[in-house]
Structure 1
Amino acid sequence: MAAHSKSIGGQSTPRTAFGALHLTAGQAPLWGRGPAGTKQRVTLAPPLSLEGEGERVPLMRKFRGYTLVTGDGSYDVVLPEADTVLVRHALGTVEVNAATAE
């Protein structure tokens, strides 16, 4: 899924950088920079949650800003407004899948 972040991947940037949030059933969520999300891939550690009400983002009418909370820290992310429910659901199942795998 196309997304933007200022801080995921170890570098904090003054503006959001284009990337991709990879949500695949049975696998840990990944963040990658670049159009296909193939650069600077980072595995997102559980527990995971998407916090905030979705702040409006200047010049990006169909995107909203959130805080992605992971086991390794919190990150600012910008996601398509239409995908927010799906992302919240997918991130919520990561802990469930990790707990049942033990």
Structure 2
Amino acid sequence: MRSINYEKLMSFVKNNPMYEVYETEGTVELAFHAPSEEEAAGGSGDEEGAVMRIIFVKRGNELTPREAWVERGGVRRRIDLDGLDSWLEFVDMYS
């Protein structure tokens, strides 16, 4: 499982209204608000998109995913943490 530098992740998500960050001592929660299918197609409907949440353990300046899931319509579906490696690599390269 891949870790990421705290500053790189914060740099990647700052000023992007689709991301929210919640921090407590020792953990960082990242929420990504995906657009609904209608919004993604250029519409402006009232349908809510999915929310992806990742909980990171913070050790020093390194963040390691502890758990992740997608929420949509009140249903929560877990995400395999190994599936986050490609996204974390992308964030690491472009921030």
Answer whether TM exceeds 0.5 for this pair.
no
- Which has the larger share of strand? 1
- Which has the larger share of helix? 2
Greater RCO (Cα-Cα under 8 Å, separation 6 or more): 2
Larger Rg: 2
